[in-house]
Structure 1
């Protein structure tokens, strides 16, 4: 992680140091074993440890190695789906419950940040979902009406207002969601880890689970140098799941997403772009997102993997796209670049799976991991503590369904994004010449 500059980029460079965690050596016993030190697993570990439960977290690499330490850092409410689409997909019972939970999920994140004094650049001034063209405008208006009907504090911005809010005239309108905000994701996940350790949880890094056995009264999780015995297991590995549970990664299509970060911008430029401190993303199918970090770097991202030919294509496109949005950035250079993988489900709704007796997993965040992962981990802790039942969780338990033609679909995401950015780069060049 620390040796690969394209794995965590700016976040690795600007996050507080991670807690010192050893590799698991020998056998240990616990009440709950958590696999994966990301938002979901560490939130569960924190809430369980605070209640006096013996928790062991096993991380195959380092804390925040997966999507939790690589994403753009937008703390959004809800899912990618519109509220009515979610209700249609899950039904009124679970759909209504999930909407209510995720509407308040950003607040839960910022409460944890404040409670544990996490140094993670947390800013709760909202996010902007920006409409590109007539189709994007219709989509944003529909989302705005649906969230308003649910009483959410969302605002519609017209073309003039969104130009003032973003610093560009590229958008036809926007949805401003006051519940949301931004943070430094790797710093936040390390903050969760510190809080969990302080509460009594034990976290082991470089301790990938290689084998799982059912001991009837407990599960045996074997790593290279040790094993954990625990009656409960939480699998919180999402798009970075190993083959220990082969059917779990088989149902997720991995979508690559990259970010670049500029040099720190001067005060004059900083005042022109996103002056309200929000993060933003647009309605394009191959979307773009951007926000500032604490040092005044503009973090800009889109779909794509920074490897092989894709690295040159995506970074060149990012530079041209930023110049198109903000002409004053025509000479700006990128100091950092990095990418990771998003776990996508067939209907854009996360999954709750029971992988065995007292073995539970949430996965498939579809690019919305920070707030949902935090509250889903908390809900799993409440279940294990006996405060709720399985049927009280925000999603129904669903069977594992491998995605047909998964390698083909993943290739379409990766190489389709390259094609879109090649065409997009030419389009931007043509606009600049005209």
Structure 2
């Protein structure tokens, strides 16, 4: 597990990002006021905001900061959920839902503000996020989202087909909308940058120390690893789609309320200057309304960072390269030769209704899961709210819509069958366009 190739198989972000800080394992016993399990965006943000408030905090991380979904994703900074809109959120969660919508509205700016404040170099570009629609009927989605988010003060605009065509350099879409606060980052650089900052702020990070269990004992939370244990007054579990990756007994109910779906990311060779004049010329992040999502953004070296999905046997990276090459050349005929230097993957934690799950785990203990592909900005903002929760801020003042864990029935079977949904999405997408 110490091999970089094992930990970061052909990842662009691992190839271009300076290594993170050297970190100790948790060996023997330790104490902190607050224990955070998980060194991804949520855990690091929670620790940062706790240290800003002067709270003693320690992170227990299974591998190293950013090893999980936080360092493997596409890096799009998107200030919405994937499916539910503001009215859906408020209808489900009431006043807490309204506060959560406000948190969502601002979460992209929250991320970029944190990076600026602490001078984290993560290739960040706040160029906006665009969601084009892939069929004429889907323009209703864009209209609804612009209408609802505008009511909450989000800087969103409805785009015509011509406007999307000019913005993205493609005639493949039928309109859409964009949010000016979104953008993109190098997610692994952000995670490692946050780790550096929290260490400088006095936080302890224990790496290569997977949590295998936790319990409440003598008014303290005890988190056990293979080589040690740590106790604390309060606890934040920030493991998301990787909750049962190292211990099936850590939080089975919460692990089983999300479906870990393998998400494939890819990076082309740098596009030519000529191609970049018309292919997303203003460098926005883009992800559309296909069930089989089409998405793309540039990195700092002018590679187009995109991705796709693939099922069945065979050489998946090579099959994916062929499929996504055809897609890019269909969307952008002017793109020319497409060659991929990097193909990697990681888990996305999906829920059945596309809502995140935020839980009280006991006295002074909290956690969340179910990013549904929107955790980059959301996790940074939620870290602030979770830090407030363990500091005793009243629930009426938190943007945390709490719920009870509801595991998905027959989770193991459905996890094996979940990739087959790709065929359903492809069929629906094709039928809509036809």
TM range (shorter): over 0.9
CA contact (8 A) 2:291 2:425 kept: no
Structure 1 range deviating more: 254-263 or 38-47: 254-263
Structure 1 range deviating more: 42-51 or 298-307: 298-307
Query: Matches of 1:120 and 1:178 in 2, distance apart?
Result: 19
Do the aligned partners of residues 364 and 206 (structure 1) sit closer, same or farther apart at CA in structure 2, a change above 3 Å counting? same
1:78 aligned partner: 80
Relative to the length of structure 2, the TM-score reads 0.92
Matches within 5 A, 1:128-147: 128-147=130-149
Alpha-carbon deviation of 1:149?
A: 2.7
Deviations 1:315-336 (A, max 9, x none): 3211111111112334211000
Alpha-carbon deviation of 1:90?
A: 2.1
1:49 aligned partner: 51
1:322 aligned partner: 328
Deviations 1:5-45 (A, max 9, x none): 86561011112221111211211111011100011110011
Alpha-carbon deviation of 1:400?
A: 1.2
Alpha-carbon deviation of 1:209?
A: 1.0
Query: Matches of 2:427 and 2:342 in 1, distance apart?
Result: 21
2:289 aligned partner: 283
The counterpart of 1:369, out of the listed 346, 364, 375, is 375
Alpha-carbon deviation of 1:418?
A: 6.3
CA contact (8 A) 2:263 2:348 kept: yes
Secondary structure at 2:5's aligned position in 1?
Answer: coil
CA contact (8 A) 1:16 1:119 kept: no
Deviations 1:123-170 (A, max 9, x none): 111010011012222211221222223332111111111111111110
CA contact (8 A) 1:257 1:341 kept: yes
The counterpart of 2:394, out of the listed 385, 389, 399, is 389
CA contact (8 A) 2:385 2:400 kept: no
Unaligned runs of 5+ in 1: none
Structure 1 range deviating more: 265-274 or 146-155: 146-155
Query: Matches of 2:131 and 2:168 in 1, distance apart?
Result: 11
Query: Matches of 2:383 and 2:428 in 1, distance apart?
Result: 41
CA contact (8 A) 1:258 1:337 kept: yes
Secondary structure at 2:348's aligned position in 1?
Answer: strand
Unaligned runs of 5+ in 2: none
Deviations 1:403-423 (A, max 9, x none): 013234333432332686799
Instruction: Please give the root-mean-square deviation of Cα atoms over the aligned residues, in Å.
Output: 2.3
The counterpart of 1:29, out of the listed 31, 55, 63, is 31
Deviations 1:367-416 (A, max 9, x none): 11011111111111122223x12343223331111101323433343233
The counterpart of 1:164, out of the listed 159, 163, 166, is 166
Alpha-carbon deviation of 1:85?
A: 2.0
1:331 and 2:337 equivalent?
yes
Query: Matches of 1:315 and 1:421 in 2, distance apart?
Result: 18
1:269 and 2:272 equivalent?
no
CA contact (8 A) 2:275 2:336 kept: no
Secondary structure at 1:314's aligned position in 2?
Answer: helix
1:217 and 2:222 equivalent?
no
Paired residues, number? 425
Relative to the length of structure 1, the TM-score reads 0.92
1:413 and 2:415 equivalent?
no
Secondary structure at 1:121's aligned position in 2?
Answer: coil
CA contact (8 A) 1:314 1:418 kept: no
Secondary structure at 1:367's aligned position in 2?
Answer: coil
Deviations 1:97-146 (A, max 9, x none): 11111111111111110011111011111010011012222211221222
CA contact (8 A) 1:37 1:57 kept: yes
Secondary structure at 1:272's aligned position in 2?
Answer: coil
Structure 1 range deviating more: 235-244 or 328-337: 328-337
1:246 and 2:252 equivalent?
yes
CA contact (8 A) 1:45 1:381 kept: yes
1:87 and 2:93 equivalent?
no
Structure 1 range deviating more: 406-415 or 185-194: 406-415
